[in-house]
Structure 1
Amino acid sequence: MSYKERAIKGISWNFLLLILAAPIGYLVRVLYANEIPKLDVGLFYAVLDFCCMVAIFKDLGLSAALVRFIPKFLHEKRKDLVKSAIISVGVLQSSVSLIITILIILLAPFIAEFYINNQGQFTGHLDLVIDVLIILSIGYWFQSIMDVISNSILGFQNQKYFGTINFVRISLILILSVIFIYIFGLHNALVPTYAYTLAPILMILIYGYIFIRKIFPDFFKERFLFSKKLIKDLFSYGLPVMLGSAGSLVLGYVDGICLTYFTGLNAVADYRNVAMPTVSILGYFASAVGAVLFPMSSELWEKGYKEALGYGVERICLYSFVLVLPMAILMAYFPSVIINLFFNPQYLSAVPAIRILSLGTIFMTLNRIGFTVLNGIGKPQLSTKIIYFGAIFNLIFNILLIPKLGIVGASLTTVTSYFLMWILQTWYLSKFLNYSFLIKKWVLAVLVGIFSLIPLVLITKTINNVILQLIVGGVVYFGVYIIGILGLKVVDIKEIYDTINKLRGFK
């Protein structure tokens, strides 16, 4: 099997499992919203966000170093160095994680009282908050071990097993949550806490066995070499990666951190269990595009086909915008229907956040594509700078707006940061790729998207059933939108074929 065939097969397998995992992950959120008190849901996600922020330091970038060095050592036929790298990273990461876990356990009463319970919503019940902190921090120590196993599997480029990891993880969380709720009768924050703690333990057993028996059967036969040079090489590669990824983690979790401190846990439940998971569904398209675009952009750049790459990026961004725009508008129009259908009325306070964030996912999608191209043409440092800019902006304006506006402030800040990051990466792309902004077609797409709402509004007013509103309204809206897009030639089918053929023509 050629490299290209393996790449395409790996991408297809990973994307298939990603699509299968998405509804399971959403079902977990629906389960928590309907079976656990809202305040307890907020408590869990507040602690989870805290652990994720602290986890920035547990990795040390060594996971990425494993993925980088294992193929190199395998190519050199140095399986002893492969084993040595895995053990070294495992010991270092688990040791740092253990120190962090012990610190969280020791400081749990202080964190619970002065951070998690800052708004006084669990006053008199801090023992539950402390239990969640301690148990989940232990779960994150086990997760650090699982991270070593999963990145070792990726380092061996075994997409067959690596692609299943996220799917198995979220499936285990769902199964464990169902067991704790319906068999043990638990209906509080301990349900997701136990599920998220036990899942990595079970995965260590499953994937540890797979790795030793199927992927690296000579693991115990190879000798272990303690090498200062190896550890230095791992850190030299890993630490810059950690600094780069830290911005993404801050950008992803700072909303929940600020909401916990300034507004309380009900707002965290609205934002983290309903609003963000709902709008994030639109991001799966960008993940699929990125999986294909990264190797393509890298190859075209290395071969000097900058004009073709610029042309392709122009069209891919336009087509992505045209595809995501109507879904974002529909989500912004139907948030209360979605909440009543999948969650329950106590989460209707998340409606404004969904409306704002759904439009922000347009820029999130374009950002992912832009970052993929920048990384593909060998400019990851620019992606890092832009992400840090977005993270700092997000932090500052969350502190300013959340105390006054709550989840609306968090949503506005997130969307604005996405927009500013998009402006920056578009400017950088135009410098390197002769990338032009097809403004006329973009404006036409927006106008079509807005005017397509007219028949949708008229029809949904005559339908009382929320499910029929969603189905009939969606069909009518997409029908009118597609007619408008094709009629005004915002998207030309022939142009799509020409673009694909043009990119394929460069060998």
Structure 2
Amino acid sequence: MTAKRHYWIESGFLSVLQNFSGVFFGFASFFLLVRSLDNHSFGAWVLFMSTTTIVEAIRNGLIQSALIRYVSSGRKEEHPRIVAASLLLGGSVTLLTVGAAHLGAPYLSALWKTPELTNLFRVYTIGFSVSLFLSLFNCVEQANLRFRGVFVTGLIRQFLFFAFVAASFFLHHRIELSELAWVQVVSIVVSTVFAYLYTRDHFKLSFDNTGYWIRKLFGYGKYGFGTSVSSLLSGTIDQMMLGAMLSPAASGAFNIAVRITNLIDIPTNAMAAIVFPQSAKRMEEEGSSAVKYLYEKSVGTTLAILLPGVLFLYFFADWVIWAVAGQKYADSIPLLKITLLYCLLIPFGRQFGTILDSVGKTRITFLVVLFTATLNLGLNFILIRKMGVMGAAYATLCSNIVGFTVAQYILRREIGVELKNTIIYMYRFYPEFYNRHVLPAWSRKSNIDNQ
């Protein structure tokens, strides 16, 4: 087995496993929380999580892609300087963010009419400070084409939170939102310790000439930063605006539909994690034609895996919502059907950003995502006022369709991507999978039975 094939098999398996475990434990925690908290408290927790996710993306977007790109493609003797520069850059952002969180928490609490959020945000700044090192450790490991530690630390972080929620649920302990925030802090600290153990051989620091690398990382990462923030805003602005314009309960209802669609987004996230470092290498070694193939093949394969799940959830949406959240969230059923439609566009957008970032065109990615987020913001403001909760779903669907169209035009111009090829790869996936995996398995079983 060649080294390249071994990389794709091992990294693919671990990335899928990581995303599956993350979504599984996240969904399991949500499944119990939605039954443990009242509608207002659950909506408040959704708003808190949406905000902290964006805050983490602000920092990770600035350093993550740049660190992975330059370590994976740079000279080994430069790695300690790159990591040190990332630490200084990330530390500066962390200090600014922690200060802003302490000052801005009361204003967000007043906007969403949830005073308990003030304490939640201030508690989370502790975990946010520690997670800087967790992020750096994981990025260094991924840049060295290793994924085992990333998987283990992600699993630990998700499992500890789930374990607390599950124990509280079955022991009939009334969960306080502040307890959930403190459990998150503990899970981050434990995960960071394990991440260091996996990365300590590669995590070396040298503060010589860090000014050069800070400028270089910031020059590359500023667009990744903007892209991450704009992308997350595009994905969460609907929930935030529902919380501000309607109520936290409305935000919670919409989040249920989003949570369910996240279950079928596992292959998209896994493929993006695998493709990014490989794309950076292939661009250096083989040129844009190899990157074009990576995009078309990865999107086509992801769509083939997603399609059965999307169809099942669409036709059995009412049963799924009832089983997952209960009858008190029946208004999430039409929301789920709309979110499933734009779920099929996610692989195109995710790999668009992955490919362009890996070949150094982060500015283009940033501008497209910023445009999509701005459009989503405007459409949400208009349609929520006219249609209520359903307006948020239609606004996000429309903005995703426009963003998909723009991205395909740019990919065709930059690296020659053809949309029809992704459909061809999607169609070919099923017979290829059948011939390579199902038939040999049946043949082995028949041989064993005959013996």
Normalised by the size of structure 1, how large is the TM-score? 0.73
CA distance in structure 2 between the partners assigned to 1:157 and 1:425 by the alignment: 28
Q: Does the CA-based 8 Å contact 2:73-2:281 persist in structure 1? A: no
Residue 158 (structure 1) aligns with: 146
Q: Does the CA-based 8 Å contact 1:44-1:192 persist in structure 2? A: no
Structure 2 residue 157 is matched with structure 1 residue 169: yes
Task: Rate the CA distance shift 1:97–1:370 in 2: closer, same or farther, 3 A.
Answer: closer
Structure 2 residue 406 is matched with structure 1 residue 424: yes
Residue 441 (structure 2) aligns with: none
1:440-459 equivalences in 2 (<5 Å): none
1:240 maps to a residue whose letter is: Y
1:34-73 equivalences in 2 (<5 Å): 34-59=35-60, 61-71=62-72
Task: Rate the CA distance shift 1:16–1:492 in 2: closer, same or farther, 3 A.
Answer: closer
**Among the aligned pairs, what percent are the same residue?**
17
Structure 2 residue 250 is matched with structure 1 residue 267: yes
Q: Does the CA-based 8 Å contact 1:51-1:137 persist in structure 2? A: no
1:137 maps to a residue whose letter is: T
Which protein is bigger by CA-based radius of gyration?
Answer: 1
Per-residue CA deviation, residues 396-447 of structure 1 (Å, 9 max, x unaligned), is 11111123323311111111122112222233344443726489x99xxxxx
Higher helix share: 2
2:107 to 110, 126, 132: 110
Shift in Å, 1:60: 6.8
2:239 maps to a residue whose letter is: G
Per-residue CA deviation, residues 207-239 of structure 1 (Å, 9 max, x unaligned), is 234434x555xx5xx765474333333323322
1:349-498 equivalences in 2 (<5 Å): 349-372=331-354, 380-431=362-413, 432-433=415-416, 435=418, 437=420
Shift in Å, 1:42: 0.8
Residue 77 (structure 1) aligns with: 77
Per-residue CA deviation, residues 24-73 of structure 1 (Å, 9 max, x unaligned), is 22101101111122211111121222233344544571233332344567
Per-residue CA deviation, residues 127-161 of structure 1 (Å, 9 max, x unaligned), is x3322232233332332332223223334443221
CA distance in structure 1 between the partners assigned to 2:296 and 2:192 by the alignment: 43
Residue 28 (structure 1) aligns with: 29
Q: Does the CA-based 8 Å contact 1:180-1:191 persist in structure 2? A: no
Shift in Å, 1:387: 1.8
Cα root mean square deviation, aligned = 3.7
Task: Rate the CA distance shift 1:423–1:171 in 2: closer, same or farther, 3 A.
Answer: same
Residue 19 (structure 2) aligns with: 18
Shift in Å, 1:283: 1.9
Matched residue SS, 2:77: coil
Q: Could you tell me which runs of 5 or more consecutive residues in structure 1 were left unpaired when the two chains were aligned.
A: 443-484, 499-507
Q: Could you tell me which runs of 5 or more consecutive residues in structure 2 were left unpaired when the two chains were aligned.
A: 436-451
2:181 to 170, 174, 193: 193
Normalised by the size of structure 2, how large is the TM-score? 0.81
CA distance in structure 1 between the partners assigned to 2:421 and 2:62 by the alignment: 39
1:189-338 equivalences in 2 (<5 Å): 189-212=177-200, 215-216=202-203, 219=204, 224-225=207-208, 227-272=210-255, 274-290=256-272, 295=278, 299=282, 303=286, 306=289, 321=303, 324-338=306-320
1:139 to 102, 127, 130: 127
Task: Rate the CA distance shift 1:433–1:331 in 2: closer, same or farther, 3 A.
Answer: same
Q: Does the CA-based 8 Å contact 1:310-1:433 persist in structure 2? A: yes
Task: Rate the CA distance shift 1:316–1:199 in 2: closer, same or farther, 3 A.
Answer: closer
